[in-house]
Chain A
Amino acid sequence: MDLGLIIGSLPALARGAAMTLFVSLTAIALGLVLGMLLSFARMSENRWLSAAARFYISALRGIPILVLLLMVFYLLPAVGLEAPPLVAAIAALTLNTAAFQAEIYRGGFAVIPPGQIEAARVLGLGETRIKTRILIPQVIWLVTPALVNEIIVLLKNSSLVSVIAVTELMRVSQQLVSKTYKPTEVYLAACLLYVLMNLCLSALGSRLRRRIGGASAGGRP
């Protein structure tokens, strides 16, 4: 075990980890918006809208991320759309996580007592305000544990984006291995960095949940 090699590789690995975080968190944030819209579409009374959302969710959950990445990267130019590697990577991860997040949010909305919505309507609140002021804040609080789970899954899945020329933690590790011919040390260091990132994210998630919970204490079921 060559500890000096691990320490010497840390700056390069840290740069890779920064790219990993950037790609995954951007995809999660975009996926939050798209996933929320999808879950509304899925729950919509419009039959076509609901069917379309259901189709998207089933289809995208069924495509392996590696296949989706290669499709976005290689098929888009065939129809005249040019996506640089970073954009293609974020797009593919977003498309994937949106499908999973949509189902997470749908689960969240399902547990809010319908009485709240009826009460809000009686008080004269519009549908949009009911969504933005009553439903979404509660749902986000309710689904934080599931969402943190999804972030962790996506962060790990982001190790695949190296196949379309995004140099994140995994690719940096491979580069280091091919330079040093020492896979054990390098992959061990990469492994520790992934675990460390995920521990931080999950701690952040718990804090966030406590904060949202604290801010609207009393209103919690």
Chain B
Amino acid sequence: MTHLLPRRLAVPLAACLLAVCCLAAAHARADLLDDVKKKGEIVIGTEAAFPPFEFVEDGKIVGYSADLLELVMKDLPGVKVRRLDIPWQGILPGLAAGKFDYIVTSVTATKERSERYALSLPIADATVALLVKADSAIKTPDDAAGKTVASQTGSAQLQALKGLDEKLKSAGKGLGQIREYVGFDEAYADLAAGRVDAVAQSFPNLADAVKKRPDTFRIITPPFGPKVYFSWAARKDADSKSLAAFFDAGLKKLNESGKMKELQVKWFGFEMPVPADALPEPVQ
């Protein structure tokens, strides 16, 4: 058997590893929730470009999730919320790297994510539908065969769109092209400009887009993707366990008291019942 590492490299490497471990150990403390209470501040990551869930108005992050968060944080008096706005692609990596204590942004619950992160109880329905121009010839998801459809890089909506592509392919003809965007706004803009034929996005967001520009956009109903939910997220380690449990308890209370429904009507214009006791096992 050959050695994978020359000996003269192995020793310094081992020393480096040891040093990193020591640093990591020096960082360990009671747990994250205690830490947050002690510091009096919690750092929360958000992609504030996802109306009506989270967006910016007059320099403040507002929306459905901001209202939910405010109510949940009432159970943690004295703790200030520092909510950072960052593009979607930086949200989960930032959480993993310890840049945020918790994620309050609409994270679509997928199998892969629930294996890696501690996803919260569902906050909304995230089932994916297609958005088209008001005068488009597309009437059902199947009409998208051969067309150019857009979604966001690294999103679960993109996964669902790829699923639709597979389904259409097995029926004969797949999508013409799938185009990926950094944010959904660029995708909407290109849809309005006629550069793409449809955008795949979660139903509640599309409802907002259509409400704002009813003469430009139209939603293709019913949604095509499997039933999925939006969650918030924590790191999946012992350190974050009690913090994740704190948010789950808060969401459960809001869901059961009917406050969550009230906020859904306020921000989306309709109710979307979501389970209050557990996040259903993601199917994809």
Contacts and interface: CB of A to CB of B under 8 A. Distances in A.
A167 interface: yes
Contact of A12 (B27, B51, B59): B59
B58 interface: yes
Interface stretch (A27-35, A111-119, A172-180): A172-180
A180 B87 CA distance: 18
A181 B212 contact: yes
Nearest to A81: B23
B97 A183 contact: no
A77 B98 contact: yes
A164 interface: yes
- A: contact size bracket: 20 to 34
Nearest to A172: B56
Interface in B178-209: 183-186, 188-189, 192, 209
A117 to B, nearest CB: 44
Contact of B55 (A73, A74, A80, A179): A179
Interface string A176-216: 11111101000000000000000000000000000000000
A179 B57 CA distance: 8
Contact of A178 (B49, B59, B94, B97): B49
A181 B209 contact: yes
Main secondary structure of the interface of A (DSSP, over half): helix
Contacts of A171: 85
B23 A79 contact: yes
Contacts of A78: 20, 97
Interface in A129-187: 162-165, 167, 171-172, 174-181, 183
Nearest to A180: B212
Given A12-B58, A165-B86, A175 B20 contact: no
A164 B183 CA distance: 15
B269 interface: no
A107 interface: no
B185 A177 contact: yes
B49 A79 contact: no
Interface of A: 12, 15, 73-74, 77-80, 85, 162-165, 167, 171-172, 174-181, 183
Interface of B: 20, 23-24, 26-27, 45, 48-51, 55-59, 84-87, 89-90, 93-94, 97-99, 183-186, 188-189, 192, 209, 212-213
12 contacts: A12-B58, A78-B20, A165-B84, A171-B85, A174-B185, A175-B55, A177-B49, A178-B51, A178-B185, A181-B185, A181-B209, A183-B185
